Amino acid sequence: MTHSGPSTFVGIQPHSATMDDDEKQKNYELAEKLISEQNFTAAVITGAIAMLLAAVAYGIIVEAWPISYGFAAAGVGVVIGFSMGFLGRGISMKFSIVAAVYTIAGCVLGNLFVKIVNLMQATAASPIDVIQRNPLPVLAQWSVSGLSFIHLVFWFVAVFAAVFLAKRPLSRAQRLAIGMLELRA
């Protein structure tokens, strides 16, 4: 069966592929509003605080339940990414980059805190005492000691979660508006 002629459906008008100037202006205004709502400083400060708190939680959880390191690492990424995305309201790539760096640092610090908690329990010392009694190179070695391939896999999951959550979710219309503004520049 061959069909010739234009195909039209009842009640549906053909859509014009071009936007009028009013529609373009509305998209530019929406994009500029979204960009102006970003708060990189708040995201960086919040991310740093979240990194420290999540690293301490990572150390405590993994020391208590060693099998839970995967969930603890992923939790570091989720906490950092969510907090940065919530307060930073970012749409730029720099939010994701900072979240990735913080997540890696948080996992490394978390690994260090596992060793510190372990020594605290063994010697009945405070965390400050454990840190003061050991030189910086020893602390640095502790932060990466005992890592295996599976640790790195979970750290990758954590980074992925942080990168995804650090940027605010945008609707299709908002992504279109941002794209149009980028094309305009």
User: Phi/psi zone of residue 11: left (φ > 0), alpha (ψ -120 to 50 degrees), beta?
Assistant: left
Domain ranges of the chain: 38-184
Give residue-wise pLDDT tens across range 130-181: 999 999 999 999 999 888 899 999 999 999 999 999 999 898 989 888 888 8
Say what the pTM is: 0.82
- Do 88 and 40 meet the contact criterion of CB atoms below 8 Å apart? yes
Give residue-wise pLDDT tens across range 45-94: 999 999 999 999 999 999 899 888 889 999 999 999 999 999 999 999 99
- Do 69 and 113 meet the contact criterion of CB atoms below 8 Å apart? no
Give the closest residue to 90 by CA, choosing from 28, 50, 41, 52. 41
Q: Using the predicted structure, report yes or no on whether residue 110 has a pLDDT greater than 80.
A: yes
